A = this chain, B = another copy of it.
Amino acid sequence: MINKIVQKLADAMAGIKDGSTVLLGGFGAVGQPNQLLDALTEQGAKHLTVVANNAGTGRKGLAGLMAAGRVDKIICSFPRSAGSVVFEELQAAGKLELELVAQGTLAERIRAGGAGIPAFFTATAYGTYIGEGKEVREYDGRKYILERAIKADVALVEAWQADRWGNLRYRTSGRNFNPVMATAADLTIVQTQHIVELGELGPDDIHTPSIYVDRVIHIPYGDPPMAQPMD
């Protein structure tokens, strides 16, 4: 019987090596695999390259991993935001390499990695600082730059529901980067709010098919915090 559900965070993290490239789902406070990130910090793998939209906020989750000195490089689109204090400290100290990528190009490079496309052309960032030095080609009178796929060793994903095969559903904005991250790593590890029986997710209702998932752990941490004052 296929059963990808593991009981302990340590088992979920087993075998992650120094030097790994790690993809992270999540956007804002939603769909962040924070408990997996804390477990990865605990697990101890070093010299990581992290691929995510942001570069962490506060001192937990990704910021905790970075504060523990485990991240050599980050590939992201939005490193500086309110609360990206650890990122800024590490940058100031010259301890963190940054590769800045336009958000859509980031998503597409990872999609390409998961889809067996080693490189593709896009108009995004042509003629800008970010596009400098990249191969340029013209199609139908418009200029495009060549971008390479991103493939990774590990993906950390947060889902709303998962079954024992690893089929996943996300809840509204919890989807974000999670499905694409799940496709582009050798080892995809999922924390899920809910475990459901096999067959409970209808075949037309699955967002991430089980083929992309290696391990699932049940982390019912509850709702994300409010994003803005509501009064």
Enumerate chain A interface residues (CB-CB to B < 8 A): 108, 112, 115-123, 137, 139-140, 142, 144, 148, 169-172, 175, 203-205, 207
Q: Specify which chain B residues have a CB less than 8 angstroms from the CB of A116 in the assembled complex.
A: 122-123
Most chain B CB atoms below 10 A, which of A118, A122, A171:
A118
Number of copies: 2
The closest CB in chain B to the CB of A118 belongs to B139
Q: Specify which chain B residues have a CB less than 8 angstroms from the CB of A119 in the assembled complex.
A: 120-121, 137, 139, 144
The answer to whether residues A112 and B120 also contact, given A203-B172, A204-B170 and a CB cut-off of 8 A, is: yes
Complex CA–CA separation, A119 to B116 (angstroms): 14
Most chain B CB atoms below 10 A, which of A115, A120, A142, A207:
A120
Contact B203 A205 (CB under 8 A): no
Complex CA–CA separation, A205 to B161 (angstroms): 14
The closest CB in chain B to the CB of A142 belongs to B118
Complex CA–CA separation, A116 to B175 (angstroms): 22
21 A-B pairs within 8 Å (CB atoms) are namely: A108-B115, A108-B117, A116-B122, A116-B123, A117-B120, A117-B121, A118-B140, A118-B144, A119-B120, A119-B121, A119-B139, A120-B120, A120-B121, A139-B148, A169-B204, A171-B204, A172-B203, A172-B204, A175-B204, A204-B207, A205-B205
